[in-house]
Structure 1
Amino acid sequence: MNPSENRGYLTTEQSNPRSADLDVLSTDDLVKLFIDEDRKPQLAVEGASGALSAAIDAVALRLSRGGRLFYIGAGTSGRLGVLDAAECPPTFCSPPELVQGVLAGGAPALLRSSEGLEDLETGGVDDLKGHQFSADDCLVGIAAGGTTPYVLGALQYAVDLDALAIAMACVPAEQAPMPCHLDVRLITGPELLTGSTRLKAGTATKMALNILSTGVMVKLGKVYGNRMVDVSASNSKLVDRSLRILTDLAGLSREQGLPLLTEAQGSVKRALVMAAGSMDLEQAHILLANHDGNLRAALGSIGIHLNEPLSRLEQSQAPNRNS
């Protein structure tokens, strides 16, 4: 066994005094302690808001020019990246190659821990090369403690290529500097279970990735208002959601919306353009293509704006003007 250098200086590795008696707490007190401590990830993400904003704009610009977004990590950090990447195609109808998660150990490591692979600095580089990672692409290197060789090697490779390199860690930069162009630090402090960064650090990382990927997709025009108009109607739940979007934005009944959605080949965007602009499928496709798939821009070019009605909650709370 070969230990790493002493990492006890990292805040993610330090003991949390609030949980010094964790093993003798009552179950109720244990649960209350975790709930109270789990307020800190929200504050950690808030503290990184400026870096997240910069990352969203930089990634969106690269993707709009044909680049791709990669998350890379080992253990929990890598699994969170894979999870976020996997959610993009069904949510935003993005091609699977647009946002990709790269995990040390590959697919088997999703189910069975293979943390030993994170010690290989060349491993991250080799995995990126296997995906034909290029200067046009973006890399988010995720490492809770900021010292994972697999991630550091990948980030340095991205920097050397002049790709966009974004570091994401849960310790201060002075404790663990990482090669990058943008540095997202989610300072969550010591874990209640010492060193178990699947806890607060993992929660903060998941929140940050949610914001990053959603923000990028908003910038790419895959959202209208707060509706996922690029949703892929690939199962009954998503067909229902698509129909409700057509109802809310275009005033169509479900009976009107279903055949239109079928004619639009499951594309909510095309169905909305067809309904609002009185167009056929080909015309809707051309109009959207001429505006890079941006629904608001496409409809605006023909003088149409979809005025979203009040939500059901807002309707129930609105004053009765007839009284």
Structure 2
Amino acid sequence: MRKLYFLVPGTTKAYHCGGLWAELKLLELAQSVGAATLVTYQQREPGHLFLGDCLSQPPSPGIFVVSWGFHVAKLIPRLKPYPVIYHAHSTGYGFGLPVGVPVVTVSRNSMGYWGQKAPHAPIYYLPNVISDEFDHQGKNRDIDVLIMARKSSAYLLQHLAPQLQKHCRVEVVDYFVPSLADLFNRSRVYLYDSALYWAVQGVSEGFGLQPLEAMACGCHVFSSVNGGLADYLDPGVNCEQIGCYDSGYDLVKILRALNKPTPPISLEFLQEYRAPQVKQKLGLIWQALDEFFDYQQAHGSDIAPVTRRRIWHLRIQQWGRKAGKLLKKSK
């Protein structure tokens, strides 16, 4: 199979975020399946390839993997002579993709978005990985309610948390935590509310790893269900919705959850996100992409892309047909 070149702007502190960690985890998994390496494109870093150097050399038989949503629209034209795939996390960046660029999404929510926006591109679903450290460790849970300040709404931090602090032990984490798995195993309830955060950013929640990690550690999760969170959260079944109608309603449900044991999450449910199953799926997708690029090299596409101009043309045709039928009825 062709080698994979994972493109990221850089790996230093300025680029630290969930998207980078997810990409590095996938790179590590890919290296256990075939040949894969990291390429930076905004800054040179010791030990990593630099995109400018790669493009100055003869075309490589490898596949470039782009993922940084705000940069994809500029990167794809630079990579035009090469096989490229888009590893899609969030949605809503506003760009389109050429028919010949496959999409590998981290959530079914993102898959549905690209299935509508680019229906003729090869599209695959490959979820992010939950590390084995996120597991029920049987520790003493000395934190009643855990909130991570980053991405949390003002409602959660300024309104609900103060109300909860009158009734139970609330830990609001706004500092670096070396082990989230340890923190989740010390907590009974985990609150996550990212809908407003992503609305301000103008893009979607790509996957929402932390609520799933908390569930794996035995926390009772109260969360928003926006974007990729809708993939696995099922309010009333494996979680509860946060910010639902009224803070008093949230308060009643959270305090009730603290007074009864959290039912263990199904191990079968978690398997889809564990490394062995994701690795197996990655191998199948990688092989399919390799076959697609073999075909693409020998054949052009005969399917018209879905563009705004084409959609407007089809709408005008539809309106014309409806107008014609109305005229016939009026005669």
**What TM-score results when the alignment is normalised by the length of structure 2?**
0.26
Larger strand percent: 2
- Give the TM-score normalised by the residue count of structure 1: 0.27
From the two aligned structures, give the one with the greater helix fraction.
Answer: 1
Of structures 1 and 2, the one with the larger relative CO (CA 8 A, separation 6+) is: 1
